Amino acid sequence: MVEQVGGSGSWYVWLVTAYLLTSSVSVPIYGRFSDLYGRRRLLLAGLAIFLAGSLACGLAGSMPFLIVSRALQGVGAGALLTLGMAVIRDLHPPHRAQGMIRMQSLMAGMMIVGMIGGPLLGGVLTDHASWRWAFLMNLPIGAVAAALVTVLLPERRVQASAPGKLDAAGIALLATGLSLILTGLSVKGNTSRAWNDPAVLGALLAGLAVLAALVPVERRAVAPLLPPHLLRLRSYAALLSGGFFFQLAVLPVGIFLPLYLQHVRGHSATTSGLLLLPLLVGMTVGNRLTAVHILRSGRTKPVLVVGAVLVTVGAAAFFALAPDTSPVLAGTWLLLIGLGAGPSMGGITIATQNSVPHADMGAATAGSMLTKQLGGSFGLACAQSLIGGHGELITAAGVGGMVGWLGVGAGLLALASILLMRDVLVSTRMPGPGDTTESDNLGSRNGEYR
């Protein structure tokens, strides 16, 4: 990209950072607005923005224009990241939990397929067509998706009392605070700067200060962007923390282990990708087993506890990573981490959506997605620091130690978070005449579908 549209290598970092910033900041905005104004129109609007950004990226003639186009694409992606999960929960209320669990499991499986197929397809397009088609191919797929949503997805009725005064101050403070934090983490994760570098530390401290100012604003807001009462729900707060630490532990593995496979073992990029398949297979199997367990027992906590333990054990094994470690042995460790990460995908989302009132479900889902993204960004920044401690040369000890320290530390914190939550029960049977669902008990009957 840099070679064809101009700019230096440092510009390339901002192609990732611009998308990360706008997609992360827009997630809670879409989530809360969907609770107040309905999800269908926002989902279609987000998809339209995403496709417009994709078209602009495909036609970009300069690096600044490409970066701005990526930022626009991220604004639309915020809706796709959040509202799909929320719509599934709307269409499958508590008395139809089996459908909801299966759909969440299917969506998580599609994300894993994207993780596997996306880089491979991108490489093929870049080698045999053009990198521009990685963006342009979104257009026909998105057009079909928009048509299906328009025709098949019903519009949700929102109570007239739900919408309140627009939380403009909350939106501005949240966007500013998250942008500063993500910029600081992106600079740290993509450069050799230290944590105390003014560009890193200054951005992080400024972002935290802005988010601290957000708290009293949200308490006074008529319709807060981030409802403060959600964080007083013990299970929801624990699930946010758990999702953050799960992502912190797992994401650096898939990003940095290929460096070991290519620079230490001498494998090609394609072979390195294939050697990561045990991680992705583990995620797929773990996600599916999570759905089966919840369908049979209606309980979410046990499988999340097992997931955190498996991530911790698998990451600890990487302390033994050596230049001559058997691919079969390393693949077994990756499989353990993947099996542990599987429950954190669909399982945390299912538990999150069933731990809050239905009126706040969009905001709750967005909060879960946002904390996972922040966990991944923080994990990448920490991983860069740990590997950087071994110098510029990639070594087995550097990569293994990074995976071990981050995975064990974050895995144990994820385990502690999950242990602190109350078990979120999901009803897997049709309610009787005198039964009440968990959403009823939470006061969540605030809308219905036409």
Q: pLDDT tens digits, residue range 299-328?
A: 999 999 999 999 999 999 999 999 999 999
Same domain, 120 and 241: no
Q: Give the domain-ending residue among 132, 155, 178.
A: 155
> Terminal CA-to-CA distance of the chain, rounded, Å?
47
In a 10 Å sphere around its CB, with 0-12 CB exposed, 13-18 middle and 19+ buried, how is residue 350 labelled?
A: buried
Identify the weakest region by mean pLDDT among 171-175, 255-259, 319-323, 396-400: 255-259
Res 222 pLDDT > 70: yes
Task: Give the CATH number, domain containing residue 370.
Answer: 1.20.1250.20
Host domain of residue 377: 227-428
Residue 305, φ and ψ in degrees, nearest 5: -65, -45
Q: Which two tokens stand for residue 419?
A: 């242990």
Q: Give the domain-ending residue among 116, 134, 155.
A: 155
Same domain, 137 and 236: no
The reply to whether 173 falls in a domain is no
Look at residue 59 and give its three-state secondary structure: helix
The answer to whether the CB of 334 falls within 8 A of the CB of 314 is yes
What percentage of the chain reaches a pLDDT higher than 90? 34
The reply to whether 36 falls in a domain is yes
Same domain, 232 and 151: no
Same domain, 270 and 128: no
Nearest to 407 by CA among 338, 321, 339, 313: 313
Number of domains observed in the structure of the chain: 2
**What is the average per-residue pLDDT within 371-400?**
80
Q: Give the domain-ending residue among 155, 187, 202.
A: 155
The reply to whether 382 falls in a domain is yes
Confidence tier at 363 by pLDDT (50, 70, 90) = confident
The reply to whether 185 falls in a domain is no
The reply to whether 8 falls in a domain is yes
Same domain, 293 and 146: no
Rounded to the nearest 5 degrees, what angle is found at the Cα of 92, between the Cα atoms of 89 and 97? 100
- Residues counted in the chain: 450
Same domain, 147 and 235: no
Residues ≥6 apart with Cβ < 8 Å to 95? 427, 429, 430, 431, 437
Identify the weakest region by mean pLDDT among 171-180, 190-199, 437-446: 437-446
Same domain, 143 and 267: no
**pLDDT at residue 8, as a whole number:** 60
The tens digit of pLDDT for each residue in 418-435 reads 999 999 888 665 444 444
354/89 Cα distance (integer angstroms): 9
The reply to whether 186 falls in a domain is no
Same domain, 151 and 237: no
Same domain, 241 and 100: no
Same domain, 148 and 237: no
**pLDDT at residue 438, as a whole number:** 40
What percentage of the chain reaches a pLDDT higher than 70? 85
The reply to whether 441 falls in a domain is no
The tens digit of pLDDT for each residue in 333-352 reads 999 999 999 888 878 988 88
The reply to whether 163 falls in a domain is no
Same domain, 151 and 250: no
Same domain, 136 and 233: no
Q: Which two tokens stand for residue 182?
A: 């993500």
